[in-house]
Structure 1
Amino acid sequence: MVMKSRTLNIIRKMSKVQPNPAKTALRAEIDEQISALSEEEKKRQSEVVFQKLVNHPWYTNAERISLFLSTDREINTFPILDHIRSRGAHAFAPQYAGGRMRMLRMDTDDEKDMPETKHGIKQHSKEVVREDAMLTGGLDLIIAPGVAFARSGDRLGHGGGYYDRYMKLARANPNAAPKVVAVAFDCQIVESVPMDEHDQKVDLVLFPSSTIIYVLVSCRNLSRKYCEIFKILLTKMTTPNPEKAVLRLEIDNRLAALTEEVKKRQSEIVFQKLINHSVYQKAKRISVFLSTATEIDTRPIIDHIRDRGASAFVPQYIGGRRMRMLKMEKGDEDLMPYTRHGIQQHPRDLVREDALERGLDLIIAPGAAFTRAGDRLGHGGRYYDNFIASTRGNPDTAPKIIAVTFNCQVVDYVPMEEHDQAVDEVLFAE
């Protein structure tokens, strides 16, 4: 009876935690594979990852960088720490305390005096005063640890949730969110990672056996600040189509060179072109994306749709490369949270009409780049490609697709694959 009572108490305690069995199994599998690596092999793989990281443009452009101080079961990050210092950038390292994590600045030789936690992780002692990255300007880049990673950026941590919470906090403002790069051994790369709602993906995973492609990107039409030849490091896992990855990076740099004044002026011109377009004027049911800071401002378009008595619908991304177009009611903008990519969308529990119940007349589409002929490069999620394809089943009822874009996003060539959907027309300021 006593034994049974003790067993029940143990079960009750365990049930409060509710660990994910798939995560537990994967952690055990990866732990076993890391144990099989020799010190020589870990050193070799660490050196390869180091070279990939220090030549990556996200790293070379970053001034404030956080990195974990590695144990002997992780990619060695201490050479990265030395490299950050040698190029005059600022390094920050985690301090775990009270269920939360801070990123504290690493002063010269700090690592020599830092005590280790019970898990063998070096960190600043509580009495040492150091700059907290989150309080003094944020970070440009987070170099993140983990147990396992998928090629898509899905990440399995060690179970404490420290990095997930920190990344979520750092991404609260999409305009100031740091890039997150994970570094890993080959054996830590898996086909899929079990992800819970609170889990945060990383933007890029660098590991030794990924194929490196060096590309020279033309800088014509860029401001002088960006008129350099980039040495771009790409990996198979994050760039299934290298041509698309290179073009997206070039467009990112073009957009970064635009002033707010230029973006405002071009948005106003595109707005006037759109509202005077015959397709728009005839349309009663129109879907339009809710723009971010690097896109043509679509808020005035939504207001105009409402003012003339038409119905506006906006995307709700529901996973699996699927999205719905839900009707925008007055005041919805104040109720809509931001995704981690900085996109506003309806919350799941808010009931709104789905556009496909009665169809659409016009889709106003976003994208990374376009040709004048209508070839479109998306942002890689295939949401719009899949949605547009679903509306084109019946040519008699298919909506028109008009893209709105900045001048710098219009190019001579866009690499198109079988699943890619062209748009009917591209409106830009020129």
Structure 2
Amino acid sequence: MFLLLESSWIFLTPTCFLIFHIIWVRNFASGKKYRITKMSKVQPNPAKTALRAEIDSRLAALTQEEKKRQSEIVFQKLINHPWYQNSKRISLFLSTDTEINTMPILDHIRKRGAAAFVPQYAGGRMKMLKMDFGDEDYMPETKHGIKQHAKEVVREDAMESGGLDLIIAPGVAFTRSGDRLGHGGGYYDKYLSNARANPDVAPKVVAVAFDCQIVDSVPMDAHDQKIDLVIMSDAKPNPEKAALRAEIDKRLAALTEEEKKRQSEVVFQKLITHPWYQKAKRVSVFLGTGTEIDTRPILNHIRDRGGSAFVPQYIGGRRMRMLRMEKGDEDLMPFTRHGIQQHPRDLVREDAMENGGLDLIISPGAAFTRSGDRLGHGGRYYDNFIASTRLNPNTAPKVIGVSFNCQVVDYVPMDAHDQKIDEVLFSE
């Protein structure tokens, strides 16, 4: 509708979010008078504005190192979650500097053969368009610094070709129960509402966040969409675990070198006569430090009997690989800051999980129960690795812990991510 008011033309659209004040105008063509309203902007929810400002301050205080650390923990939690593992079509956002780094997630989706989709914001709407290899190198940025497909680039639209199994959502703030505060554009709320129109095919929605983005309450309006799960690092140490590690450290410090040698020899004999070990052709073993069972005789025995030995390489993000040990490797391997020998990054060795898997994992730990509860050293490397090997129960390796007697306790505090082991060998 075109209207004349004080010799100015005004075009009214049905989608304007505006409030009217009564004024008189005249339709130029008919001469009839109409009463309409003058337009002014709707005020934003002040509680949301205040919370966004508070979260902005918290995010600004995070160092790059801390953002990297939390992003790596969130990545591991996500890729080990059954919703992610069962999803073949996944949407995710391409993160900015104030968000959890999602590039490792994109790479992982591709490596596991799933389809990745990312947002394209245009005209008040959002689409999820498929990411082809290399797309991220050519995508322009919006005025908010968000990468997205250019308008002229043709890519599969997720909702027009099979929908989505999982949506990984951004946000400003979240509660643990799933309330979400977005950035104010309403794009994800509208998209989630449409995706949930048919509950039978609605995707799961997981948000990824820094710890400082988790709050007790989020102001929610009628149109705001809850999410199904929030993943954060939540990396505060478990006090029970910290106390038990301190106690085990004292016990280990009291062991003489002779006693450690004696118990290591007993454990070695128990292991090499164990049927799981005798049947295993591909065995991973850690290279023990001075406070662990001596595993060098185990490594030599695996080689002498014609088996393949693999040892950990810690690669960050609470991830590790098991790389094959060739004769003489231990003489070339540097020590980490924790005194653990591992292959240098530039030395190419077979990765066990990319070439046949493992039959047996010989695991370290700080403490164990006889029933297989295990307390690690706090990095979650073995928990994450063992979990990844158990995705297919038909090919999962057996896991044996080896320890000194003083490391065997009646109770180990276990969190959701902690992996039980199949058996513990100690000299007793």
TM-score w.r.t. the length of structure 2 is 0.47
TM-score w.r.t. the length of structure 1 is 0.47
